[in-house]
Amino acid sequence: MNFIIYFIGKNWAQRIIVLGTILLYLYLILDKPEIARKGFANSIRIFFELMPVIFAALLISQSITLLLPDEIIIKWFGQESGIRGIITGGLLAGLLQGGPYAVYPILQSLLQKGAHISIIVTMLIGYGAIGLSRIVYDFIFFEPQLVGLRLLITVPLTIISGLILYFIL
């Protein structure tokens, strides 16, 4: 039973993705076997290309959170940090580099070490909305005015949403 749970995921969101993928590939195997074979082969190749990067990101993220003393996390991101914590957390998360496989474990550790939930949600919003690591791509595809407008809107919205959450929670 533990193997099945490990394989299909420990929560419903993971299970839906895994079971949906299984159903899709059952259909492809029966109806379009060449597409199923190519898709599976490409997925395995990409998995092994990404595995070292994801593992390194997880090691780095865990090291960062283990090196930060609980007192500092509580001081800067705990419930008593107030508006300073919201602003600092939202803006700091907007600067974070890497994919969710690197950032989410850091935020999870901060939450476990005493960061307030409103600040963690603000950090998730800042990471997703501000995303300074994407500015290079923004400038490749969009005019500078659009990039500036995106930042002009997302930075204050991150802080405002965090403040609303802080006062609700």
Quote the pLDDT of residue 118.
95
Give, for all 169 residues of the chain, the pLDDT tens digit.
577 767 777 788 888 998 999 999 999 999 999 999 999 999 999 999 989 988 888 888 888 878 989 999 999 999 999 999 999 999 999 999 888 888 998 899 999 999 999 999 999 999 999 998 888 889 999 999 999 999 999 999 999 999 999 999 8
Cα 115 to Cα 120: distance, rounded to the nearest angstrom: 7
Quote the pLDDT of residue 90.
96
Quote the pLDDT of residue 36.
95
Quote the pLDDT of residue 136.
85
Helices (H), the chain: 2-8, 12-31, 33-67, 70-77, 82-95, 100-112, 117-129, 135-141, 144-168
